Structure 1
Amino acid sequence: MTAPSPSLWLRLKRLSLVTQIIIGLIAGIALALFAPEVAKSTAFIGKVFVAALKAVAPILVFVLVMASIANHKHGQETHIRPILFLYLLGTFAAAVVAVVASTLFPSSLVLATHDVAVTAPGGISEVLQSLLLSVVDNPVSALMNANFIGILAWAIGMGVAIRHAGDTTREVLGDVSNGVTLIVRLVIRFAPLGIFGLVASTLATSGFGALIGYVHLLAVLLGCMLFVALVMNPVIVFWKLRRNPYPLVITCLRESGITAFFTRSSAANIPVNLELSKRLGLHEDTYSVSIPLGATINMAGAAITITVLTLAAVHTLGIAVDIPTAILLSVVAAICACGASGVAGGSLLLIPLACSLFGIPSEIAMQVVAVGFIIGVLQDSAETALNSSTDVLFTAAACLGEDERAQRLA
């Protein structure tokens, strides 16, 4: 007598999470194509999944960072400094790629009046002031509003203070961290269903008809992001590890980039990156700080968006700008983007700032922002995927590179 074959549900459960997400992606596309009205009703599923990720991310970062610092053993090395260097290097390299691409393949925009209600920063000083105010934010307010700069500041402060507490207190904090991590893993298990709802509803509602008029601009934007993800970042990782970088690059893109592409939120993808860092065997003391920090300041995708759209406006208006000046001003704007990175379409809000550096008035700059919102269904998704996957990629590269360096010196 032969054993009964396993049910379809059991077969799906045995598949890896990435395979399940790809199945959800394909199912969402199929539903949007063949039953668009039904697909629109799945928007609620996607919203619930993204809301759950956003709900657990602040408390996870706060507890995990605090527990890691409180239980950090004296003499145990962390690698935050080289990770910060890689973040800055990656952002600068992305800006260079965007400037070169915009020079070789200049884009022109149809600048008309668009009624888009956004509040853009008035200058670099305003962005930096906002960033400083985020650091000293009330901890309850920081947790409620997902202000990760403020959350990190309070978590680090509390972690340092609790290091001097008794062993029992630190053990309890470690147990709380494990409990929150378990909840996060449960939420992530629903990623295939959440991706299904997001894809089906987005395609059925927006489609890609609105993007036809911006094919050239999108090609430059997405081409830059693909080049950075598949060429520039691997070069940086190879420089750090001195070995084939693509297994690590592909792993990060597959397991972090896919979810980030559809959630379109670096904050929502923090739990995914923390889980991936753990599976890669990285130092918890390092990635518990570098991942949420990267979600706020590692802005390679934003550097590309700001630079390409700003230089498209520059080209449309016939303004002559030399390449070194374009690189310098684009990098300054991209670094300042950390002040608006927690907002949906945060990089777009920095375009008026970058345009003002080229003498472009705010009335025209806001029209460029409107173009950004029109193409945002792809631009923001690809930008978030690049930003978020690069967070874990550079964290892994720095940790593995420093470990191998220590072994050679030992």
Structure 2
Amino acid sequence: MKLILRLIAGIVVGILIGYLAPEFISRAFITFRAVFGQFISYTIPLIILFFIMSGIASLRSGAGRALGVTVAASYASTVFAGLLAFIVADAVVPHMLSSAGALVSESPGLEPYGFADKLTIPPALDIMTALVTAFLFGIGISTLKQQALKEIVDQGKDIVELALTRILIPFLPVYICGVFVALTVDGTVFATLRTFGLVLAMALFLHWIWLLILYTFAGLITGRNPLVMLKNMLPAYFTAVGTMSSAATIPVTLERTKSNGVDPHIADFSIPLCATIHMSGSVVTITTCATAVVFLTGGAAPDISTMMTFIALLGVTLIASPGAPGGSIMASLGLLSSVLGFGEPLIALMIALYIAQDSFGTACNVTGDGAIASVVEKLALSKKAGDH
């Protein structure tokens, strides 16, 4: 919650600087945005490489069928939630912006100081190279049980997470401040903020639509009342809103899932795993915001095949996203740039949009975990009974 308040403060200060401060101060903040954006671009492949590799390597096969069903159900929920978000955003957002035109330019009117162009930090790996390498080595480590290599990967992940928690996340409000200085100078800041509010409201609405769909499906599979199941999970939802952490909410999610009648052994296994791999709320927000940001620039929405590719890769990329607030959007930046072609100004807007609702996306994730556990119980235990 502190990060959200700091983000709001950064937006307000950015608007005030853009309107009231001398040009050299505005350029200083825009220059910081340009330099810090270079550092973000440098860290993106490292986040993808170490977090995804570590996450895949940690998915052991010891739990048998329950593991496979949990992973499949979580991934299916994440992908279909993303597709729903794209379909709705593609239909609704253009009507929101029909009278506004392009609100954001990739080339702001006030340029950073000249040294920012010379201070380049090229990434060590290409985005897709990092992604494929993470898959290859993650699966290999898990299959061959290479514990020594797994420890090295985990240590690399810890180093990258340290950079996120000590450098990237703390300085994001200043970075966002620079973004809104540029928007204010361009004269598009209030139109952009109005659209921000509408897009975030739509994302929150879609969270609950997806939870209703998810629990309706779980109710049909298990024979339980979906509305009662969802009501029982509300304490987990509100706990996640406060903590902004799936992991910190696990005890409440676990207790509420068991109160829905889910087998304790299944709940004890699936809920902690879903806290890492079930990201439907996060994908709904990222997809909705990405579609809106495209329209904000006056562009046409990506075609359905491009978005399906983006959502399918996003569902895997978020498997082991950093646990810090805003971690999911940081993990998705590589796909936003490589698949959707987002440049630095658009990535900055995505960060601002996502973090503004981060706690609600997390709440959708953990609340949906209870439905996934119910489905896993039905499918895994019915198969086990059939084997006997």
Deviation at 1:248, TM superposition (A): 1.4
Match of 1:245 in 2: 226
Match of 1:369 in 2: 350
- The code of the aligned residue for 1:274 comes to L
**TM-score normalised per structure 2:** 0.57
State the alpha-carbon separation in 1 of the partners of residues 126 and 325 from structure 2. 18
Contact 2:281–2:364 (Cα < 8 Å) also in 1: yes
Contact 1:302–1:334 (Cα < 8 Å) also in 2: no
Deviation at 1:288, TM superposition (A): 2.9
State the alpha-carbon separation in 2 of the partners of residues 98 and 86 from structure 1. 18
Matching of residue 221 in structure 1 with residue 203 in structure 2? yes
Q: How many pairs were matched up?
A: 268
State the alpha-carbon separation in 2 of the partners of residues 243 and 144 from structure 1. 41
SS in 2 for 1:106: helix
State the alpha-carbon separation in 2 of the partners of residues 350 and 122 from structure 1. 14
Contact 1:306–1:330 (Cα < 8 Å) also in 2: no
Match of 1:340 in 2: 321
Change (3 A) 1:235 1:409: farther
Match of 1:81 in 2: 68
Matching of residue 256 in structure 1 with residue 236 in structure 2? yes
Match of 1:123 in 2: 127
Contact 2:215–2:227 (Cα < 8 Å) also in 1: yes
Deviation at 1:353, TM superposition (A): 2.5
State the alpha-carbon separation in 2 of the partners of residues 332 and 143 from structure 1. 20
SS in 2 for 1:296: helix
Match of 2:215 in 1: 234
Match of 2:40 in 1: none
State the alpha-carbon separation in 2 of the partners of residues 349 and 272 from structure 1. 26
SS in 2 for 1:216: helix
Contact 1:240–1:398 (Cα < 8 Å) also in 2: no
Match of 1:292 in 2: 272
Unaligned runs of 5+ in 1: 1-64, 148-208
State the alpha-carbon separation in 2 of the partners of residues 388 and 84 from structure 1. 15
- The code of the aligned residue for 2:151 comes to D
SS in 1 for 2:348: helix
State the alpha-carbon separation in 2 of the partners of residues 138 and 358 from structure 1. 29
Deviation at 1:138, TM superposition (A): 6.3
Match of 1:390 in 2: 368
Match of 1:32 in 2: none
Match of 1:96 in 2: 83
- The code of the aligned residue for 1:137 comes to E
Deviation at 1:341, TM superposition (A): 4.2
- The code of the aligned residue for 2:358 comes to D
- The code of the aligned residue for 2:359 comes to S
State the alpha-carbon separation in 2 of the partners of residues 144 and 360 from structure 1. 29
Match of 2:288 in 1: 308
Which among 104, 111, 118 is matched to residue 104 of structure 2? 111
Matching of residue 137 in structure 1 with residue 151 in structure 2? yes
Which whole-Å deviations, capped at 9, do the CAs of 1:5-26 have from their partners, x for residues lacking one?
xxxxxxxxxxxxxxxxxxxxxx
Identity of aligned residues (%): 21
Change (3 A) 1:140 1:248: same
Deviation at 1:286, TM superposition (A): 3.1
Change (3 A) 1:261 1:122: farther
State the alpha-carbon separation in 1 of the partners of residues 206 and 255 from structure 2. 28
Deviation at 1:322, TM superposition (A): 2.1
Deviation at 1:96, TM superposition (A): 1.3
Deviation at 1:350, TM superposition (A): 4.0
Contact 1:225–1:304 (Cα < 8 Å) also in 2: yes
State the alpha-carbon separation in 1 of the partners of residues 292 and 200 from structure 2. 11
Match of 1:271 in 2: 251
